[in-house]
Amino acid sequence: MDYLDCEDEVLHQDKIEEARKKMMNEDIIFDLSNLYKVFSDETRLRILNALLISELCVCDISDLLGMTHSSISHQLKVLREMKLVKAKKVGKSVYYSLKDDHIQKIIEIGVEHINEKEI
């Protein structure tokens, strides 16, 4: 059904071709979307924010955020799978900390954008 299509004269074939050539490949887009998905949840952002300040065990995080251990543990699993945090087991406790400093940078740029937006 060509009601979906625009007249040829409307399309900018040169621009479309240029974009087609220069765009990132689909695998990277997929990975990127999954990475940002991690930052799109308030609970995970709060966990990352807390770990940016101090290494913490699951109990600490639950207490700090006022949420159940289960909920926190599920989210920590997501963060582990995305290689954003690392876990260190000591006795019955598991201590979590950030794995690299991209996290801080990503959050900083986000904050910048939000602050500029308000102007």
75 binds, among DNA, a second copy, none (CB under 5 to 8 A by kind): DNA
Residue 66 neighbours by CB under 8 Å, 6+ apart: none
97 binds, among DNA, a second copy, none (CB under 5 to 8 A by kind): none
Strands 85-90 and 93-98: antiparallel
Could you tell me where the beta strands, DSSP code E, fall in the chain? 56-57, 85-90, 93-98
Binding mask 37-76 for a second copy (x = CB under 8 A): x-xxxx--xx--xx--xxxxx-xx-xxx---xx-------
Q: Applying CB under 7 A, which residues contact DNA? A: 5-7, 9-10, 37, 40-43, 57-59, 62, 67-71, 73-78, 87, 89, 91-94
